[in-house]
Amino acid sequence: MRLKELSPLKEIIFNKKLENLDGVVAGFRIDESPHFNMIYAGILLCCTGETSEGRKYLESTLKLAPNDNFLKYTVSYLNEYGRMAPLEKIFPGKQQYAEPHLLRALMDLSMFHVIRENSIAHIYDFFRDKIDPKKGLHVLDIGIGDGSHLFSILKKFIDQSEIKDVTICAVDPSENMLKSSREYLLKNIGPKLKFMPINKNFQDLSGTETGKALKISGRGFDFVHASHAFHHMPFELKMQACDKLRQLSPYFVLIDLEGNEDLPEQFDPEYVYYLYRTYGALMDHVTSEISDSNVVEGIFKKILLSEVFHSLYCKRNERSDFGMMREQWEDLFINRAKFNRLAVNTTVYEDSALRCLLMIAAI
């Protein structure tokens, strides 16, 4: 049985036809994961107000798969907070944004170091003959975070040539991240840095703000860079954002985990399976590499599980994450957004559950 064949189970649970549910669920075993039928049922029950019954399914599956971190920490979360919801829903009015040190710890995982090192090599190799050190290096970064990923790219250019100045236009909806990235980049780049923060989502930039960014740059940007950030908008808004990209620079550098988040509808088995498999793999990396239990707990509660639970409760157009598969990105850039070519289209990290793509779209 394939994932899409679990769809009738969604209808059964949402229509509250719960008689003999154990037997019904047992009949929906799938090829991708022998226990996912129980996990899927447990998640749907929790999301439809049947938390006690849903917890039983998840706890039963955990006994069959005791090393499954997604199950382990989801059950722990349910036991602590009583429902499957992000912290901002459990504690309304109290902001639950992840502190910069938690994001920094997550991005310091070895897989992200591999992504960073492989990305730097490809990006430097592509741009080294296209950037004139006398004119400086001008970059617009979408979702800059704490600035460490962008700096790791810029450092290669700074170390290899006498860059006159570095101009960074940072677009991020978080004031904390803009402040943190400015401090980090100023500390590491020094007085040659010119830093322009824009406290917005990239898709919300007005024409005036786009023009202001170009004016600050003085000549346009050598490239626009988005690392694990451009997926925060649905396909149709990505197309509109690409119009802005083409105004700002001839090159757009995308680094993102491949994901099936954009097209599936809410609670579709393919979507729930993607969340379970992807975030479970990230949790495995966290628990195997970070020894500080407080940091692990913070990453899970305020970043990973929060993203999962938020995603589950959102209809497609309400999500904050819209990751896509490689062929969908290719379709966006070449067929829909009318970039001339993908100058780079490669994989910079891959394991049994995760794949990270690097693409450089050129006009």
How far, in Å, CA of 330 to CA of 205, rounded?
A: 24
* DSSP labels, 11-67: HHHHTT--TTHHHHHHTT--SS-TTHHHHHHHHHHHHTT-HHHHHHHHHHHHHH-TT
* Residues facing residue 77 across a β-bridge: none
Lowest mean pLDDT among 91-100, 295-304, 341-350: 91-100
Q: Which of 111, 115, 137, 109 has its CA nearest to residue 299?
A: 109
* Residue boundaries of the structural domains of the chain: 3-95+268-315, 100-260+321-362
> pLDDT-based confidence at 237, cuts 50/70/90?
very high
Question: Does the pLDDT value for residue 95 go beyond 60?
Answer: no
Tens digit of each residue's pLDDT (9 = 90 or more) over 44-60: 999 999 999 999 999 99
- CATH architecture assigned to 100-260+321-362: 3-Layer(aba) Sandwich (3.40)
How far, in Å, CA of 143 to CA of 172, rounded?
A: 5
Q: Which tokens hold the place of 78?
A: 């349910």
User: Average per-residue pLDDT in the chain?
Assistant: 92
Residues 223-250, mean pLDDT to the nearest whole number: 93
CB 41 within 8 A of CB 55: no
Question: Does the pLDDT value for residue 338 go beyond 90?
Answer: no
Q: Which residue has the higher pLDDT, 208 or 98?
A: 208
Q: Which tokens hold the place of 221?
A: 């940007």
Question: Does the pLDDT value for residue 162 go beyond 70?
Answer: yes
Sheet architecture: strand order including 193-198: 193-198, 166-171, 137-142, 223-227, 251-257, 355-362, 341-350
Q: What is the pLDDT of residue 96?
A: 53
DSSP alpha helix (H) spans, 65-174 = 69-81, 87-90, 100-107, 110-127, 148-160
> pLDDT-based confidence at 123, cuts 50/70/90?
very high
Percent of the chain with pLDDT over 70: 98
